[in-house]
A and B are shown apart, each in its own frame.
Chain A
């Protein structure tokens, strides 16, 4: 479903992403974890078509994003880490706007929009301008918007930032349901507990390169440590547990 071929991004001579090769099957929740500055957000932005790779290719559902960006974007839902939205639109208007961008129209659209607002507990705030939303509400609105067009791939950067426990639980359940229906969730996070809990496959990235990948069990074996993902992560990325 998702495939990277020698994916590289160089910023002013510095390799942020260094020759990544990866294949993620359909219906997987994939965790992409790594320390700050490891290249997670850069990778995600390239997958979302917001950033152009210096070298290499990204295939989503067999389509090269560089060659057919619009086709790929129609099947992905992107949730960035910082919820920058059009502050002067209401939540409802924003979802309709987003639907329009994906060419969605027709009778069922309003029903779908209202359903998502309801699912993410934003119905009461539907007509209020986004500028009056809290950080968590904006995050929930972005997640709702990313699901409007029923994407085959969801790309998420730090999904839980700003969410309360109830919101976080809801999002985890939704990702699970989505993957159960055959969608692939590519999730970048610092929250190792979250990765351990929801991801079937995990890659640890450090200085732009994948340094370990597989299931939680595979990672433990590769690191040669027992216990939770935090110990594995610290061992592999050279943190205190590794000393």
Chain B
């Protein structure tokens, strides 16, 4: 029965690959290509770092051992985290669960097959990206074939422990909250966790570790290096076992072997036992609907009324619907926390720049940084857009028929989406650029140039998001966050980055000429003026193109859509 229950996953994958043609094949090739590129970069990055470590006597091995412990700890934490998220969907929320539970299959078989799905869904990515790191260790330490076998031997129990912990945690959570709520709770907790970790990491300023001169003693430096490692953690046992393989240490590792495998076995047994007790109750509860809070409703209504007051009924309807859906879908609005963290870290980085200690003349550096900052801010806006604007069309989901069958023309639909996102993004971009320029104390010319450039860049970035989102829609998504991580999202990020870079490149020369003429007190020649004006005209044309092309392509895609 277990085999039958897991068959659909593999059959679906096989059929998808078998029947892939044209565009799908290009998608697969692009994704595989990007994956391999990332894989190679990661391998060389670790290889270089470990090679450098190995050249440092005494401290080199300690650093490499600590790095391995950190990598295992991060992988282990990510494994638990991704098991929690995927277990909720696989065990409680998937649409085919009704079919499984209404079949004569034993509950244990259903539980095991769903846990198997969870392990596959949660672990493959980590294995793919963990392998280059581990291979870098293998290459630098000239490890033999045994090392790679040990890698499998160590990873297997680690995955089982992470899966057991994640799945049991989710079963307990769903026992007390219906699955819909549990998802909200997890999404919220995990976002808080990510934000806290992210901020903590930023405020600890790991860049100091690269420069040991800032520490008063070697002991203090080594103390700062110490990874958050504990002998009670399974990742520690795994690190020890692998390290002995790498360094060919001959001492006994029996305890680590026993700890790793006995914990994994215990986790497996406990999870099956717990499933027998509470899994079905949780699944049953997952079918229950939740009721709404009247207080939240009132606040939301006020926001909607305020924003849509000056608009006509068609656009008001669309925007009001989008705002309501956004704030009621916890997986959506809670990502605003990430946005907040990203912006805080971005601004913080500027506030701690040691400009006064720079060997380059500060005023040059400030203006150069301000110029580069246009690109950085543009990139931050693109990163936010891929998450919030690119899925704007896909967010209609399977209800897209309502729009298509309504008198609202595709053009008005698409431009309504564009307008809805343009204003908040313009405000955010201007706040970012003005505040960072204020921190950098740049010249009024740079302040004006950055503000105007980012202002026009946002028009293009938003149009690219809305337009390409319509060209690469995903109306079948179960979670809107999936939309940004697909092929279209990748294309959007590439095109958006190229667009921003092109604007920066076009402006760089003229800005340098103007600034150096200003600081040297020289006049700008006629030829230089022609060049400067032509460059800025090209920038304007590029911006117009970035708005018009993607929106036209998006419109064409909606016209051709045959859901």
Task: Identify the A interface with B (CB < 8 A).
Answer: 48-52, 69-71, 73-74, 76, 78, 80, 82, 84-86, 88-90, 93, 96-105, 127-129, 131-132
Contacts and interface: CB of A to CB of B under 8 A. Distances in A.
B14 interface: no
A85 B559 CA distance: 21
A80 B397 CA distance: 15
A82 B398 CA distance: 10
Contacts, number: 93
A50 B397 CA distance: 14
Interface in B285-306: 289-292, 297
Q: Which of A74, A86, A97, A105 has the most CB of B within 10 A?
A: A86
A70 B409 contact: yes
Contacts of A105: 313
B407 A50 contact: no
Contacts of A71: 407
B314 A88 contact: no
B317 A99 contact: yes
B313 A100 contact: yes
Contacts of A128: 291-292
A235 to B, nearest CB: 34
Contacts of B291: 128, 132
A100 B409 contact: no
B501 to A, nearest CB: 38
B231 interface: no
Given A78-B405, A131-B289, A132-B290, A101 B314 contact: yes
Contact of B398 (A84, A97, A127): A84
B479 to A, nearest CB: 13
Q: Which of B289, B312, B329, B402 gathers the greatest number of chain A CB atoms within 10 Å?
A: B402
A102 B321 contact: no
Contact of B329 (A88, A100, A132): A88
B335 interface: no
Given A86-B325, A101-B406, A102-B406, A96 B317 contact: yes
B396 to A, nearest CB: 8
A97 B320 contact: yes
Nearest to A106: B313
Contact of A88 (B312, B328, B401): B328
11 contacts: A50-B405, A71-B407, A74-B407, A78-B401, A86-B399, A89-B324, A100-B318, A101-B402, A103-B312, A127-B292, A132-B291
A85 B313 contact: no
Nearest to B332: A88
A80 B559 CA distance: 20
Nearest to A51: B562
B406 A88 contact: no
B386 to A, nearest CB: 22
Nearest to A131: B289
A88 B324 contact: yes
Q: Is the interface of B mostly helix, strand, loop or mixed?
A: helix
Given A89-B324, A101-B406, 8 more contacts: A51-B563, A82-B398, A84-B399, A86-B399, A97-B318, A127-B292, A129-B328, A132-B291
B406 A73 contact: yes
Contacts of A104: 313
B405 A73 contact: yes
Interface in B404-433: 404-409
Contacts of A90: 292
Contacts of B401: 48, 50, 78, 80, 84
B317 A101 contact: yes
Interface in B379-403: 397-399, 401-403
A129 B180 CA distance: 14
Nearest to B294: A127
In order of increasing CB-CB distance, the 10 nearest A-B pairs are: A100-B317, A132-B289, A84-B398, A101-B406, A88-B328, A73-B407, A78-B405, A70-B407, A48-B405, A88-B325
B286 to A, nearest CB: 13
Contacts of A93: 320-321, 324
A192 to B, nearest CB: 26
Contacts of A80: 401
Contacts of B297: 127
B463 to A, nearest CB: 23
B314 A103 contact: yes
Nearest to B180: A131
A85 B408 CA distance: 17
Contacts of B320: 93, 97, 100
B402 to A, nearest CB: 7
Given A100-B314, A132-B290, A50 B404 contact: yes
A98 B407 CA distance: 10
Contacts of A96: 317
B316 interface: yes
A84 B325 contact: no
Interface string B265-277: 0000000000000
A51 B562 CA distance: 5
A97 B409 CA distance: 16
- Pick from B316, B317, B320, B563 the residue with the most CB of A within 10 Å: B317
B316 to A, nearest CB: 6
Nearest to B311: A100
A210 to B, nearest CB: 22
A49 B400 CA distance: 12
Most buried by B among A76, A80, A100, A128: A100
B228 to A, nearest CB: 39
A128 B316 CA distance: 21
Contacts of B406: 73, 98, 101-102
Nearest to A129: B292
Contacts of B563: 50-51
Contacts of B321: 86, 89, 93, 97
A125 to B, nearest CB: 11
Residue in B329, B397, B406 whose Cβ sees the most chain A Cβ within 10 Å: B406
Nearest to B410: A69
A74 B314 CA distance: 13
A70 B404 CA distance: 10
Nearest to B326: A88
B404 A97 contact: no
B329 A69 contact: no
A78 B406 CA distance: 9
A113 B79 CA distance: 49
A101 B316 contact: no
B407 A101 contact: yes
Nearest to A50: B404
Interface string B60-82: 00000000000000000000000
A17 B437 CA distance: 62
Nearest to B322: A86
A78 B407 CA distance: 12
Nearest to B288: A132
